[in-house]
Amino acid sequence: MDIGAKEIELIVREVLAGINWNNPPAAFIPAQGDHGVFEQVEDAIWAADAAQRQWVNDYKVEDRRRIIEAIRSMARNHAESLAGLVQEETGMGRKEDKIQKHLAVIDKTPGVECLITEAISGDGGLMIEEYAPFGVIGAITPSTNPTETLINNTISMIAGGNSVVFNVHPGAKNCCAHCLKLINGTIVENGGPANLITMQKEPTMEAVNRMTEDPRIRLMVGTGGMGMVNALLRSGKKTIGAGAGNPPVIVDDTADIALAAREIYLGASFDNNLLCLAEKEVFVMESAADELIWQLQQEGAYLLQTDQLNDIMTFAMTTKDGSYEVNKSWVGKDAGLFLEAIGVQNKEVRLLICETDKAHPFVMVEQLMPILPIVRLKTFEECVKSAKDAESGNRHTASIFSRNVDNMTKFAKEIETTIFTKNGATLKGVGIGGEGHTTMTIAGPTGEGLTSARSFTRRRRCMLAEGGLRII
């Protein structure tokens, strides 16, 4: 007997309809994970979906607050060991700075407190708008802030009533799995549901595709390079995309140069310049250039000569189809290692600086290395134009050192970045040493900006008509 696709579909439907899902047959029970870490992404989605239903049905907002506080407290105790594990596995960045990044997301990622119900009461009745969960969120995380993004996304997303299936960067899968298990352990110890955050043990592109195709995943959140963000946007699934930056800094002829050097040195050397929002190139007005370079050297920066820069270019960059790309094996390495490779011994140095022209590959390509090109230009207008070219329309982060309010305003308007810092390291724009909350997911391309719990919720309205419940 021949059976067509239609008949097979009908048989499957009948079988599925007859199953008691409260006590399903063994074939339908998903594999058990290891504290949220699963072999197959399907099981990770199944478990996160079940956990999310419990999270919204069986727990109050106060439980969310209490459990998030427990996660913060556990993560604070592990900040140093997590920073060490990330540094060891990825081979990028500086442990002491990674501890600071962990503490920033632990202490300054907002929780349920930012989900404030809005109400309007008038002659037409009472309207409330509330922040409701999406459901299960699929989150892609980068190698540059792996566990920091995992902690930050977890707090923001579960505060909003969601569960999360992570696809972490393959180069950071072990530290992320360890961190995810610690968080799930804390949630369960504090009476919360198992598997509120899950991941496939071996992250793959195939798993990302399964996530975008699965109807139970209601939102994708991608933090990383533009290739990944664009792939998610093309998938057709609702996406929050946090992509690449290449933040320019302008130092004009009114700036406090000592302050500029101190802050640029702090930001550009932090974690070997791995942060997407770190200062990546400087455009300085001619009259301030010599002093800025001298002051940067006083801070500890090493000034590369032209031949030394050319030597570094030969291994730190590669060319493909005539355009430059970073050599990934040099991303986030210590400045001292670059010097060692060109025959200079200086292990203590944190930042290399060099003078280049405005079209140099170190200016135009987001290199994520502790090498800061400095371009001297005659006018402020040239600085703005070159900064815009280098930022390449990412609209991510930019900064200015100036005492001229007109210049500050002009650059901010032209560059249109999500984060704009004045007279301070760009780190301060993400709450590290500055005001405002911290996030590791800065969603420029899709417009949510510096994400928090509110970004991962749906606004829903309830309208009570006829003036009911009003007291005037």
Q: Which is nearer to ligand NAD, 328 or 460 (CB)?
A: 328
By the rule CB under 6 A, 361 interacts with ligand NAD: no
Question: From the CB of 276, what's the least distance to ligand NAD, in Å?
Answer: 3
Query: Which distant-in-sequence residues (6+ apart) come within 8 Å of 171 by Cβ?
Result: 89, 90, 143
Q: Which of 26-34, 48-56, 186-194, 242-250 is the region at the interface with ligand NAD (rule: CB under 6 A)?
A: 242-250
Q: Which is nearer to ligand NAD, 203 or 429 (CB)?
A: 203
Question: From the CB of 378, what's the least distance to ligand NAD, in Å?
Answer: 30
Q: Which of 85, 199, 208, 257 binds ligand NAD (CB under 6 A)?
A: 208
Question: From the CB of 394, what's the least distance to ligand NAD, in Å?
Answer: 8
Tokens encoding 143 = 């190698």
The label of the residue with tokens 């005539």 reads: 322
By the rule CB under 6 A, 245 interacts with ligand NAD: yes
- DSSP label of 28: G
Q: Which of 82, 157, 244, 268 binds ligand NAD (CB under 6 A)?
A: 244
Tokens encoding 379 = 């006018």
Round to the nearest angstrom and report the end-to-end CA distance of the chain.
Answer: 74
Helix (H) or strand (E) holding 187: helix 173-189
The label of the residue with tokens 């991303």 reads: 331
Q: How many residues bind ligand NAD (CB under 6 A)?
A: 28
Q: Which is nearer to ligand NAD, 109 or 407 (CB)?
A: 109
Question: From the CB of 438, what's the least distance to ligand NAD, in Å?
Answer: 11
Tokens encoding 462 = 């309830």
By the rule CB under 6 A, 84 interacts with ligand NAD: no
The binding track of 253-292 with respect to ligand NAD, each residue x by CB under 6 A or -, is: -----------------------x----------------
User: For the CA atoms of 335, 340, 343, 345, what is the dihedral angle to 10 degrees?
Assistant: 80
Tokens encoding 333 = 């390495």
Closest to 257 (Cα-Cα) out of 222, 298, 219: 298
- Total length of the chain: 472
By the rule CB under 6 A, 179 interacts with ligand NAD: no
**Residue 383 and residue 320: Cα distance in Å, rounded?**
29
| CA 149, 150, 155, 160 torsion-angle sign | positive
Question: From the CB of 273, what's the least distance to ligand NAD, in Å?
Answer: 11
**Residues of span 141-160 touching ligand NAD by CB under 6 A:** 141-145
**Residue 32 and residue 38: Cα distance in Å, rounded?**
7
Question: From the CB of 166, what's the least distance to ligand NAD, in Å?
Answer: 9
Q: Which of 84, 225, 361, 449 binds ligand NAD (CB under 6 A)?
A: 225
Question: From the CB of 446, what's the least distance to ligand NAD, in Å?
Answer: 10
Cβ(145)–Cβ(275) below 8 Å: yes
Q: Which of 205, 337, 359, 463 binds ligand NAD (CB under 6 A)?
A: 205
Q: Which of 59-67, 105-113, 243-251, 377-385 is the region at the interface with ligand NAD (rule: CB under 6 A)?
A: 243-251
By the rule CB under 6 A, 231 interacts with ligand NAD: yes
| CA 411, 413, 417, 422 torsion-angle sign | positive
Closest to 372 (Cα-Cα) out of 425, 413, 422: 425
Tokens encoding 223 = 């933090």
The label of the residue with tokens 């990934």 reads: 328
Q: Which of 86, 179, 180, 242 binds ligand NAD (CB under 6 A)?
A: 242
Tokens encoding 85 = 């594990």
Residues making contact with ligand NAD (CB under 6 A): 140-145, 167-170, 203, 205, 208, 223-225, 227-228, 231, 242-245, 276, 366, 440-442
